[in-house]
Structure 1
């Protein structure tokens, strides 16, 4: 049987392959319009989605044009859809200009045109168009505070919608005269379309009191001008939407990893595709489940692999280099206290754990021995939110580069008999 690292990486690679948009448009294409086909999109996977859509649309005899904004380093070659790169997770001027152009393209679409929207995780930051009365600096300030607050992605996106001139169904309203079709790759727990990229084409009511309550909950102080702009940006009568298709989800990725586990002679147990909570606390809980499987054969008998997805959060208190997957993994390892028969991997499927250059990390039973040999205090690293530094020093980072998809976090805990 392959070693622990090889098994864990094979599971992660199977999950990534299942989450790519290639081939996912077949059988899901709308009828060709009399007028133009305008492709608009945003997100870490949006460039790869645009290329895959172009291929499928060309096979169906259609031509298209448009504009998609993705993260720096995530562009791919396309035929006719323009790809623009911008900053993530804190928006920048390039994202602002792209959002303005995307909104303008939607507004010029006529009743004979088809607007195809391609959205994936990361669109909230990349498609950054401040609401009236706000500046890009205002959005950057609030976004940075949210990222450090420990707020789950759903709450962050509710605030982002209240700050935006394009999210929360406002792009759908702009394209109101045209036929609208949205394709999504989900990076949110529960796969709620209105939460993916903050739902630019998913009409909904936007209640400013909810956003302001979230800011208060996490102690995020904002100026009176920001409060006023949020209140003025309410949506009480949502516009009509269009068809919505889900191309890839965390569950699809976990199912693919489970199939790979069976090929390797392991019993898979999917614990859920929408786990949330503080990363280090989730790590401690997962350690208890893994230990139970090893000692008692419950909830599954070893050799097995425990799979899970979702998005944990980190309340940043230290000054280290972290990432929620690395923090989860370090907490898990510490709770297991060097148990030699348990190994694990935790990665973000977009290839970037937080703002670092790694997808995540992995460990096996030799982690503590390696840390002692190098004088690394793993407990201190966790307290300083410095899991990246620990795993880097021990050669346990997982580095993939941009994966060109994004179905949130992937976690696999291998329990040998």
Structure 2
């Protein structure tokens, strides 16, 4: 069963390969410039270049990823660095230099928020520290991006405003609901959030950052221009399509399991909230199925996706999928097989894609409480011996959770 869980995950990754997804969606015209950013940027760009031949391009990837033989700028993720700022400045310069009739193909995937960083009113160091604090606060990706957009000269549609060219964007979604304004902080898309909402996020999570607050207050007073808003005339120059999403990943795994004679149900592709709360929900559902055969008959596989958050209070290491599995282990009364992983191959700063739960983990009788107290899920699964390590996968379709209820 452990092997089957892994096979389902890897099959889903192969079935949603960014190269193939982009290849099927490329426009018939030849672009004058291709911009590619994010964790899936290299295969997305490779698909375009294989179709169009030699076209000017700019590729930005996280450090350590395979550029597939292409020239790339490598930047930091999830906290931006100097290379992130250089990449953003280069992209803005390229966009500003284009004539009105030029055509831009933008290939955007998750991770672009950190990889293109052009701070507005704050230093790069301040922007990085705030990003890190937001990621540890338990804020949702929408809340994090509301702040990042309003402290940026490229996010929140400002990349589109920097140019007079026509832009066609192909997006690989790593966000619940596949909102294009949230994917990579929507560099070419309208942003419904405001300076006031960004300020409210800092208040909600008790984040001081006086310089960032000063900038957001200036924006709230109308002293700084807002991000691109719905209905802006610039949007007539934008067309776009989401070519891959978390639901595609889950459907591929479901089909894989069904072809092998198993029943499989997708619960949702957009679960959010605290990873521990999400684990409690899954545990209670498993126990209900086990006890009453409701709302599904056993045996079956439960699939779910989306993006959980972790409010970091301890000094340990882990990621949202490892935290989910650790809390699931703590809540369940009896063993089961489960896998949870980030489709990009890196679950937070853990270095692993995720992990597995197996009956052997229960046999070791590890106490989850000290690990939960320190947010040290990585150490727990190192001790359990069930870490799932893939390295960067070259895609980014959000979280993948698979439970077998026998």
TM-score range relative to shorter protein: over 0.9
Kept in 2, the 8 Å contact 1:251–1:273? The answer is yes
Structure-2 residue corresponding to 1:55: 50
User: How far, CA to CA, are the matches of 2:225 and 2:136 in structure 1?
Assistant: 25
Kept in 1, the 8 Å contact 2:199–2:213? The answer is no
Structure-2 residue corresponding to 1:408: 398
Q: Does 1:111 align with 2:100?
A: yes
User: How far, CA to CA, are the matches of 1:197 and 1:219 in structure 2?
Assistant: 24
Kept in 1, the 8 Å contact 2:25–2:243? The answer is no
User: How far, CA to CA, are the matches of 2:376 and 2:22 in structure 1?
Assistant: 41
| Structure 1: gaps spanning 5 or more residues | none
TM-score, structure 2 as length reference? 0.94
User: How far, CA to CA, are the matches of 2:261 and 2:136 in structure 1?
Assistant: 41
Structure-2 residue corresponding to 1:76: 67
Kept in 1, the 8 Å contact 2:190–2:228? The answer is no
Kept in 2, the 8 Å contact 1:18–1:248? The answer is no
1:26 to partner: Cα distance:
3.7
1:226 to partner: Cα distance:
4.5
1:19 to partner: Cα distance:
2.7
Q: Secondary structure at the match of 2:92?
A: helix
Structure-2 residue corresponding to 1:156: 144
Structure-2 residue corresponding to 1:364: 358
Q: Quick one: which of 8, 13, 17 aligns to 1:11?
A: 8
Question: Are the structure 2 counterparts of residues 324 and 201 from structure 1 closer, same or farther at C-alpha, using a change threshold of 3 Å?
Answer: same
User: How far, CA to CA, are the matches of 1:389 and 1:56 in structure 2?
Assistant: 45
Q: Deviations over 1:318-369 (max 9, x none)?
A: 11112110000011111113x23x2101000000000121000101122122
Aligned counterparts, 1:7-406, within 5 A = 7-33=4-30, 37-58=32-53, 63-78=54-69, 82-131=71-120, 133-175=121-163, 177-204=164-191, 207-224=194-211, 226-228=213-215, 231=219, 232-235=224-227, 238=232, 239-240=234-235, 241-337=237-333, 339-340=334-335, 342-370=336-364, 372=365, 376-406=366-396
Question: What is the CA RMSD across the aligned residues, in angstroms?
Answer: 1.7
User: How far, CA to CA, are the matches of 1:225 and 1:279 in structure 2?
Assistant: 28
User: How far, CA to CA, are the matches of 2:122 and 2:175 in structure 1?
Assistant: 27
| Structure 2: gaps spanning 5 or more residues | none
Kept in 1, the 8 Å contact 2:161–2:228? The answer is no
Question: Are the structure 2 counterparts of residues 233 and 367 from structure 1 closer, same or farther at C-alpha, using a change threshold of 3 Å?
Answer: farther
- Segments ≥4 residues shifted beyond 6 Å: none
User: How far, CA to CA, are the matches of 2:271 and 2:140 in structure 1?
Assistant: 11
TM-score, structure 1 as length reference? 0.91
1:253 to partner: Cα distance:
0.5
Q: Deviations over 1:73-106 (max 9, x none)?
A: 1132245xx3111111110001110110011111
